[in-house]
Amino acid sequence: MTPTAEILRTRLMPPPPLHHGLDGWVHQGIGWWRRRSFQRADFADQAERLHAEHITLAELSEKALHSRLESHRRAVRRHRHDCVQAAAAALPAVAEAARRELGLDPYPVQFRGALALLHGAMTEMATGEGKTLTVALAAAPLGWTQLPVHILTANDYLARRDALHLANFYTRCGLETGHVLTNMNGPERSENHAAGIVYTTGKELLADFLRDRLLFGRWQDAGRRIARRHFGQSLPAIERTVLRGLHHVIVDEADNQLIDEAVTPLIISRQVENHTLAEAVQAAHQLAGKLTEATDYTLDNRKRRAELTEAGLARIAGEITVDDGTAMNHPHWRRELIETALQAAHFFHRDKHYVVDEGVVVIVDEFTGRLMPGRQWKQGLHQAIEVKEGVAVTLPTEAITQLSFQSFFRFLPRVSGITGTARECAREIWAVHRRPFCVIPRHLPSRFRAGRPQVFARAEEKWTAIVATIVATHATGRPVLVGTRSIAASEELAERLRARGVPFNLLNAVRHQGEALIIEQAGRCGTVTIATNMAGRGTDIRPGSDAAALGGLLVIATEPHRSGRIDRQLFGRTARQGDPGEGLRFISCDDELMKDFLPSFVRHTVRATLSLRCPGAWIFGVAACRWAQHRAERSAYRQRLAVLQQDRWVQDNLNAGRPDFIH
């Protein structure tokens, strides 16, 4: 039975609870001890020996290299279920294949990173140090086991790019390459999942896993089994599953997949007939427009929720005069619908959280800045936003099955990961996923220079300063990358630069044509690039030779994110592989992070201090920003714990009272 079948056919047990109290301290101590194994000198020495052996293979003929690769493949195949040592021994030959096919000569630190991945560690390798090649070095020997190998990237663009770029390398190693993207149908997915090395995203892999499990669920129904056995009734032919198996999984940008994406579970749903919902949502939208904030309802900016007051409930009760049998006549549903309409009006904004594309509301991924067609917000929120935007209201959906990313990665036999920003969440990764953490040193010393953060009392002052900085830098010919948090902010900045006569390239979820070309040109002298988070994770911007003399690429962060790791990812686009580079942060008291996660008196105090231009006021502003980020990260952590607990409740309820023979 394939690894996937074993997981799909058996009952999904609730994930074990996290360790707390003294158990938690002991568990973290075990994690610290596991991390030490990657800090010892013998681990670094092994990487150096493998690199030295790789250098000696440069003189091998093509036939001799092929023979050596075949020999290592057979050795790995013989130890397929405990292949770490055999796979590690194969790294020099695999690296030589990469050098000949890709023109990339791996450094000792990349051997060290590949070893850590083979040992199942979550690895931090600084941005620009060659994580893509490091992953490939570890994936090729794992592919020789003939067990499924999936490499998870942050988005479809990176999955397609890496699969196509590395296809010849894997072919030389005797492996086929596939990639699974959002817009692929079932047969395409099945064909690509059948390859030895598969590039995809965590969302697509989990979605395919859940769909396949639904197919297996038909065979687990006790009634159908009894009917077939005792009454001769046959079951309908089961559809072909998409996955051929799940075994080795390497997570690129691991903190994005294991932390950022884990705040919500992935839900497989289907549309249901409920034509009265459109009328009810429309009525709720009209009623919500008549209410007054503070008097009729209150807003919770941190949780993005609206709550009706007693006065508001009484007011809307007086507005309902006709009993037409819809949900608006039921007090509970009326309250839910109106609070959802208020939530849509106050906390979900066009060109920030979603776009309207040809009359369809399409969600924008907050962490990657990319569109997510086909996805919907649940509990009527999506329909409320459609009514707000005046587009056709789609049918609601009901959940068929769901699973959190935390639980999914726990089910997998072998998981490792790599990212440039993981040390902040190393304790959580060990506590939840029981993966040791490893830091890989840089190949060359960093030449990144962090400019002094610019802090302003008002948003308008901040944007004026940003434009002035861009104009002055562009005049010198130095390339500039400007990161914004939303589509609307990128469009507004583009208008300001257009008014100043500064040429620029714009990259966001709406204007993404020619993305590869825009990224390729972003490091050239005289280029100004405005981008959302699409130019964050995995984006390799190579500065021109003339740009280095000007100080390298200047990266400007126009607004702090809820996690400092995402800010670090943006600044990781510059000063790569020993090149010079600089990063500037711009902060204002009107930024979303500051408004949502700072107490009002603190924010007003910071604003007053900045307005008075007190000496050192910027230090106070930076400290307040870091505190807000800390509070935002703690809030997200509590959300992830709630999602993990929800998995336990769902599985407990599904499995309660069911006889063992149908599990």
Do 544 and 417 touch, CB atoms closer than 8 A? no
Residue 480 near residue 556, CB atoms below 8 Å: yes
pLDDT of residue 11: 46
| CB atoms inside a 10 Å sphere around CB 489 | 20
Structure tokens at 615: 């000496």
Residue spans of the domains in the chain: they are 3-9+29-267+404-440, 273-395, 447-637
Pairing state of beta strands 149-153 and 122-125?
unpaired
CATH assignment of 3-9+29-267+404-440, among 3.40.50.300, 3.40.449.10, 3.10.129.10, 3.10.580.10: 3.40.50.300
pLDDT under 50 in the chain at which residues? Answer: 1, 4-11, 218-223, 235-237, 322, 324-325, 657-663
Element at 531 (helix H, strand E): strand 528-531
Residue 350, burial from CB neighbour count under 10 angstroms (0-12, 13-18, 19+): middle
Q: Is 243 exposed, middle or buried (0-12, 13-18, 19+ CB in 10 A)?
A: buried
Domain 3-9+29-267+404-440 and domain 447-637 have a common topology: yes
Q: 10 Å Cβ neighbour count for 595? A: 14
- Condensed to tens digits (0 to 9), the pLDDT of residues 355-412 reads 888 888 988 877 777 778 878 887 788 889 999 998 888 887 777 888 888 889 988 8
Q: What is the pTM of this model?
A: 0.82
In order of 131, 265, 337, 350, 403, the CA distances from 378 in angstroms are: 36, 12, 12, 18, 15
Q: What is the pLDDT of residues 192-249, one digit of tens each?
A: 999 999 999 999 999 999 988 887 664 444 445 555 555 555 544 455 788 988 999 9
CATH class of 273-395: alpha beta
pLDDT at site 640: 87
Alpha-carbon gap, residue 606 to 624, rounded angstroms: 8
Residue 519's pLDDT is 82
Closest by CA position to 485, among listed 583, 595, 562: 562
> Do residues 246 and 142 lie in contact, with contact meaning Cβ atoms separated by under 8 Å?
no
CATH class of 447-637: alpha beta
Q: What is the DSSP string of 8-34?
A: HHS--PPPPPPP-HHHHHHHHHHHHHH
Residue 305, strand partner residues: 300
